[in-house]
Amino acid sequence: MTKKIFFILLIIVSASANAQIFKKSMFAKKPLINLENFDKQRIHFGFYLGFNNYDFKFDKRFDDKDILVDSQTGFNVGLIANLRINDYIDLRFEPGLNYGQRNLTFPNMTDPVDRLREVKSTYIHLPLLAKFSSKRMGNVKPYIIGGLSSSLNLSSNANSPDDNSANRFRMVKNSNNYELGLGIDMYFEYFKFSPSIRGVFGLKNEIIPDADPNSPWTGNVASMSTRGIFINFAFH
């Protein structure tokens, strides 16, 4: 599903860029520039909708079969507050709500119930990002974006007294990440549309070990951190 979304994003970006090139080559006069002064605003706001695909990176204590992660496609929704620094650099705060699911299979377990853990996560996601844009070309402007984020997992089960022995997978509530991505601003008559793709990489161990140090679920896990791909469609 995520690959299909990624290809759709590439098609949108390519079609827009090709349309701008075609328009410029067909007309000798200067093409019509939409929202010419939009990016000169000191502060502006917007919102985004999108998809995510969360994964886990596991580090093992000793060599054994890998925990298998089946990543499910989730969704993102949030707001954008953009502070203009200069013509090429912006500072962004993008608070949002992200929902995702990862199904973990523990290959050493024989019981089908014990083998599977469905890890459903609802994050309040708080990224602070720097956006570096190229020079605007007609009605398109590519950019790269990156920064740090903090996530509050509302579905962490961190306060539960039960663990995997009672079918309860636990994670820490708060995690920190760094993010890197790219996108393109497309200027229409009444709004700016910005599709983007971004990688999210956790910076801390997020697993809460079971009470039993030899737990078949967490005993071999030295650390577990989030990995994710976001595909967002922003409107300004």
**pLDDT digit string, tens, across residues 152-180:** 999 999 999 999 999 999 999 999 999 99
Calculate what percentage of the chain has a pLDDT beyond 70: 87
Q: In this structure, is the dihedral angle defined by the CA atoms of residues 81, 100, 170 and 106, taken in order, positive or negative?
A: negative
b/e per residue, 47-73, with b = 16+ CB within 10 A?
ebebbbbbbbeeeeeeeeeebebebbb
CA 114 – CA 104 distance, rounded (Å): 10
In the predicted model, is pLDDT for residue 27 greater than 90?
no
- Give the pLDDT band (50/70/90) at residue 230: very high
Q: Give the count of domains, the chain.
A: 1
Residue from 70, 84, 62, 69 nearest 185 by CA:
84
- Mean of all residue pLDDT scores within the chain: 89
Question: Which residue did the predictor score with more confidence, 199 or 19?
Answer: 199
CATH number of 192's domain: 2.40.160.20
Confidence at residue 227, expressed as pLDDT on a 0 to 100 scale: 96
Residue 69's SS3 state is strand
Confidence at residue 56, expressed as pLDDT on a 0 to 100 scale: 96
CA 143 – CA 132 distance, rounded (Å): 6
- The 10s digit of each residue's pLDDT in 46-103 is 999 999 999 999 999 988 889 999 999 999 999 999 999 999 999 999 999 999 999 9
In the predicted model, is pLDDT for residue 19 greater than 50?
no
CA distances for 74 relative to 1, 38, 100, 144, 163, angstroms: 10, 32, 4, 23, 25
What domain range includes position 42? 2-235
Residue positions counted in the chain? 236
